[in-house]
Structure 1
Amino acid sequence: MDMTNILILTVGTRVKIVEYFKALPHVKVVCTDASLNAPALYFGDVHYQMPRFTDPTYLDRVLEICEAEDIDGILPIIDTTAFMLSQNQQRFSQKNIKIITSPPEAVALSYDKRKLARFCHDNQLPTIPTFESLSDFKCAREAGQIDFPVFVKPAIGSGSVDNYKVSDMTELEAVLVDKTNMIIQAFVDGPEFGIDAYCDLETGELVDLFVKEKLLMRGGETDKARSVDQEPILSILRDLVRRANLRGPIDVEFFYDHGQWLISEINTRFGGGYPFAQACGKNYPQLIVNNLNGERNQVQNFEYPLNMILMKYPEVVVSSMDSNVLLQSKVG
């Protein structure tokens, strides 16, 4: 059987994702990062140091690696590279290389939270009330549509950077005075849930999913979670997948507030909490490889064990500065 060659960009600390692909038969994993101190680099079969994605030569370098390693599919791990690749898919499709993410219009919903809010409003999908300017918020508040507290965050960004809970107008104006491209959202105090799902790259059909209630967050990623039933949220997710034309691995964030499921964010890539899904029996890397080999994935049964408590823990990777070779990996 021929090898399936996967290029994972900006692997950073996502060691588990690399290991899941490495565990599959007849798969070669090529990893890249701008830093040679990215631990996940050393868990693939081959690794390359890359310029940062802002470098004008970045895409050319990606193509060079694709040609050198006979790459079948490219997996972006972070939003910025997913957005860049989606905007340049034709350069890769001409060489029969698949970008493992959604079409550009769908990736834009992940990249820019303003576009997601508009999309949900236009398609009557439940979401958190969102305002793109202070003046819009003031008008809505005067009309009795929203009040404090509110949540302020960048329209484009990740990792919970520059996120603020704001309690009054004075504080809100102070937060916004020296910042641009911020959004104002209703503050939701209900439990937060994350859905790791896979949509077939060929058909766009929702093939599999895993739902977790977030128990503890750290740096914008889920640190502890509990597996929960998918049934209450399934119809909304199916509607979202169909209307947004989502493809590949996705991570959708929901809040449950006063009996209503509210879409919070979409990530058109593996979420940081995906290892929880794999630990409960899911295998989206295999679904990706199936698609790269021209197979359409059949819809799975959506089953997984419930009420499993899922916890992350740190590990230590040691490599040689002289050879950039992995020497050991151990629990820290």
Structure 2
Amino acid sequence: MNILLTSAGRRVSLLRAFRRAVQNLKGSKIIAADCDPTAPTLIEADESFILPRVSSDKYIEELINLCERKKIDLVIPLIDPELPLLAGSKGIFYKIGCTVAISAPETVNIGNDKLATWDFFTSNNIPAAQTFTKEEVQEKLKRTDLSLPVIIKPRWGSSSQGIIKCDTIDQLSFYISREKDIIIQEMLLGPEVTLDIMGDGQGGLLALVPRKRLKIRGGEVERGITVDDGLFYDYVVKIVQILKPFGAINIQCFITGRGPVFTEINPRFGGGYPLADAAGAQFPEMLIALARGEKVKPRIGQYKRGLLMTRFDEAFFISLENDPLGNSLMKL
């Protein structure tokens, strides 16, 4: 079983989780690809490759060539910009014997476009953070019909970067006059919880692990703790039945006075997945089984509650003296 992590970046813990999952599959390799030759996963992987940036017209072509050349069985996409590309190209990969761990294009679009996320939640009676377009907020400001504070977010993608809190009308007016492709969302108070979810692609829920976010750094959870799934289970079953995600997705919500209120759907492995994995989630094992055409038994509730994750930086050190890459990087 050859598994490729694309846009792998710093996801060393996830790579190691997949390595554990294939330890009994003889001859398996965990391969990483990135556009940056200094990405940490490229050091940890069994083999590593440089691909063009996702924005390049050559990205999908080069990725398909790599999958054919290395006989890749399973591709794990890891950043938002490549998700629509891979969702739309899934059939091409299937023809060369490669499964892409990505949901259908419609599901990916609902996750990537926060306005579509809001429409999905509200049309299916799922409690969601009030969300407005820039134009709607401008009209509300004219009528003084807007409760503050609010949060400004990029409309596309699911990174926590680029989020702005606005406490005053002047501050809000300043940003909406300058920012493009944004949404404005009510600010929710209460614990923030990420729901790591595994779907079978047919509307079946295979696993759910909720984790409370305790501290965020650079848009990614640094400290978190697993919590009970009781508050979220019925909502997640409903969401999975409708969206039919294939593989890992994660959903963000806040626990408020009116219960869980949902804000985002991210159709990929979340940056904090290693906590769910350490708690017993086994998403890599399930994905590999699905890619092999095996029937996967759901693992609902089979994870350790109260497991704390507190992260720290770890480093690889590689001597690049007299190396072409090193010579390039050392230029002043």
Normalised to the residue count of structure 1, the TM-score between the two structures is 0.91
Question: Which segment drifts farther, 94-103 or 47-56?
Answer: 94-103
Structure 1 SS opposite 2:175: helix
| 2:61 matched residue in structure 1 | 60
* Counterpart AA for 2:155: A
CA–CA separation in structure 2 for the residues paired with 1:59 and 1:15 = 23
CA contact (8 A) 2:208 2:300 kept: no
Instruction: Give CA-to-partner distance per residue, 1:126-147, whole Å, 9 cap, x none.
Output: 1100001243564499495x41
| 1:327 matched residue in structure 2 | none
Structure 1: stretches of 5+ with no match in the other structure: 325-332
Question: Which segment drifts farther, 93-102 or 186-195?
Answer: 93-102
CA contact (8 A) 2:224 2:310 kept: yes
* Counterpart AA for 2:151: F
Structure 2 SS opposite 1:212: strand
CA–CA separation in structure 2 for the residues paired with 1:52 and 1:40 = 16
Query: Structure 1 pair 299/248, CA: closer, same or farther in 2 (3 Å)?
Result: same
Structure 2 SS opposite 1:318: coil
CA contact (8 A) 1:158 1:220 kept: no
| 1:195 matched residue in structure 2 | 195
| 1:330 matched residue in structure 2 | none
Structure 2: stretches of 5+ with no match in the other structure: 326-332
Percent identity, aligned pairs only, is 27
Structure 2 SS opposite 1:275: helix
Query: Structure 1 pair 99/42, CA: closer, same or farther in 2 (3 Å)?
Result: same
| 1:16 matched residue in structure 2 | 13
Query: Structure 1 pair 77/198, CA: closer, same or farther in 2 (3 Å)?
Result: same
Normalised to the residue count of structure 2, the TM-score between the two structures is 0.91
Instruction: Give CA-to-partner distance per residue, 1:251-274, whole Å, 9 cap, x none.
Output: 111111113211111111110010
Aligned-residue offset at 1:290:
0.4
Structure 1 SS opposite 2:301: coil
Paired residues, number: 320
CA contact (8 A) 1:200 1:296 kept: no
| 2:71 matched residue in structure 1 | 70
Kindly indicate whether residue 237 of structure 2 is the aligned counterpart of residue 228 of structure 1.
Answer: no
* Counterpart AA for 1:271: G
Instruction: Give CA-to-partner distance per residue, 1:181-217, whole Å, 9 cap, x none.
Output: 110111111110011111124x331101111111111
CA–CA separation in structure 1 for the residues paired with 2:144 and 2:239 = 29
Counterparts of residues 309-324 of structure 1 (less than 5 Å): 309-321=308-320, 322=323
Instruction: Give CA-to-partner distance per residue, 1:142-161, whole Å, 9 cap, x none.
Output: 495x4111111110144332
CA–CA separation in structure 2 for the residues paired with 1:163 and 1:102 = 26
| 2:156 matched residue in structure 1 | 156
Aligned-residue offset at 1:55:
1.0
CA–CA separation in structure 1 for the residues paired with 2:271 and 2:62 = 26
CA–CA separation in structure 2 for the residues paired with 1:161 and 1:207 = 30
CA–CA separation in structure 2 for the residues paired with 1:320 and 1:34 = 20
Structure 2 SS opposite 1:290: helix
